[in-house]
Chains A and B, each alone.
Chain A
Amino acid sequence: MASIESKDIHKIVVACDAGMGSSVMLAGQLRKQLKGSSVTVEHTPVDRIPADADVVLCHVALADRARATAPGKPLVPFQIFIGDPAVNKLVATIKSGGTVNA
């Protein structure tokens, strides 16, 4: 399991199948929630997660593919697209400090 200190998180990548639909939506939500912090949020296809991602977010059904594309990276799988506790927790951790274990 990978873990990362919240102060070391600079880029969050939200991944979905095509990198065009649901990931764009969630990335937009996250950007709003993280406004004011230095963290950038990107969206990509799950098969093309960039190497400079610090934390990867994707739906649990795509988690296997995300692990294959970005092995060893902290991966936060979520289940629902609005108000998922895993996503909320990540945002809270980034804002208030702490460790992301994922």
Chain B
Amino acid sequence: MATAYTPTVYGTGIKATVQRLGGRLAGMIMPNIGAFIAWGLITALFIDTGWLPNATLAELVDPILKYLLPVLIGYTGGRMVHDQRGAVVGAVATMGVVVGSDVPMFLGAMIVGPLAAYLIKLVDGFTESRTRAGFEMLVDNFSAGIVGAAMAVLGALGIGPVVQVFTTAAGNGVEWLLHHNLLPVASVLIEPAKVLFLNNAINHGVLTPLGSAEVADQGKSILFMLESNPGPGLGLLLAYLFFGPRSMRSTTPASMVIHFFGGIHEIYFPYVLMKPRLILAVVAGGAAGVFTFVVTGAGLVAAPSPGSILAYMAMTPRGGYFGVIAGVLAATVVSFAVAAVLLGFGRGSDDETPGGTPAAESTETAETTGPTGPTGATGAAAATETRDGIEPQQAGTTHTITDKDGAPVMKEA
């Protein structure tokens, strides 16, 4: 087990912290993906180059992008900090940064929404015990109104212009990477981070806001496809289907459907975590996909979320199918090929006894064959000694975590 979870770069504590921070960023975007998709559909259909050009309906495009989406993000960010009151103040404050800049203010909304909510939370804490009976509603309404108005002014004059500089700089950075063909290198960071469950943090915390700003300029963005390409995961699962441990093969087709069509990429993370060297396969696949997207000038009009091939097709601009499909295919083929090599084309998998449950079996294999033999053996021994069937899992898990922290092994179990 110690070998099965090999997130070596981060200690467990840091990993959880990074996950949590990223989760907060993503948490402001993800509940609003429906609005992003609505906007993507309207854009793909009604702009000049769309499927059904219509000048009247195309009027929807700009206000949704510049006002509705940032305000929704600021609202959601505020709600995360201080429920409904935080949401309202966050939304008002977001209007400040929206008006205070010329670019779509996703980043600004992600900053000012929670910040304004935090302020009203502080104010509420201060006034709550000091408000005379019967004056609560008056105080509550006006404190929210005053904080909201103040934050909107601050946003328009101070925060908006500053964030605009950052947004522009980030956009230029991406442009630079694109022009120098360096974007595929991003996969080296993205794919490992993904299987550490930072997938939402990266995609929705960072790439969706940047990509949406780029769409405003260019009508499509490649940034939506860096993390969400279902190709690398599909290639990996295909390799498992043909060359993986025999016991794993039966669940793989269902995983492929959930991954590729359902867009739930989490389903393949365990397959990588079980045999960490397979990270090379998804990195190579991801890079091949991005490279193909760059070469063919592919892009999507909005975030394809979840990362399903169906979402990809729905978010592809008219005439852009070749590059998008080619990139997904290239990623699948490369990831499959590398994973197949790393799995030794199925050699050595036959000696694992069939029967028994897949995870238990592969877990045991990992434990007994892993480089950290002694500690792994401890975990396995503990697992066999425990009477309760749930315990081996728990024991192994605890073992892994404490082992990395350097704390006493098996402390909790």
Contacts and interface: CB of A to CB of B under 8 A. Distances in A.
A96 to B, nearest CB: 12
Contacts, number: 123
A22 interface: yes
Contacts of B31: 20
B254 A82 contact: yes
B393 A65 contact: no
A86 B394 CA distance: 8
Interface residues of A, number: 38
Interface string B6-18: 0100001101100
A89 B388 CA distance: 9
Interface string A57-68: 001111111001
Interface residues of B, number: 51
Given A22-B266, A46-B23, A100-B390, A85 B360 contact: yes
Contacts of A83: 251, 357-359
A62 to B, nearest CB: 6
A21 to B, nearest CB: 5
B23 A18 contact: yes
Interface of B: 4-5, 7, 12-13, 15-16, 19-20, 23-24, 26-27, 30-31, 196-197, 199-201, 251, 254-255, 258, 262-264, 266-267, 269-270, 273-274, 306, 357-360, 363, 388-394, 397, 400-401, 412-413
Given A62-B19, A77-B394, 17 more contacts: A1-B412, A18-B27, A22-B266, A22-B267, A46-B23, A47-B24, A60-B397, A61-B269, A63-B401, A76-B390, A79-B274, A81-B266, A82-B258, A85-B359, A85-B392, A89-B388, A101-B391
Interface of A: 1, 16-18, 20-22, 25, 45-47, 59-65, 68, 76-86, 88-90, 93, 99-102
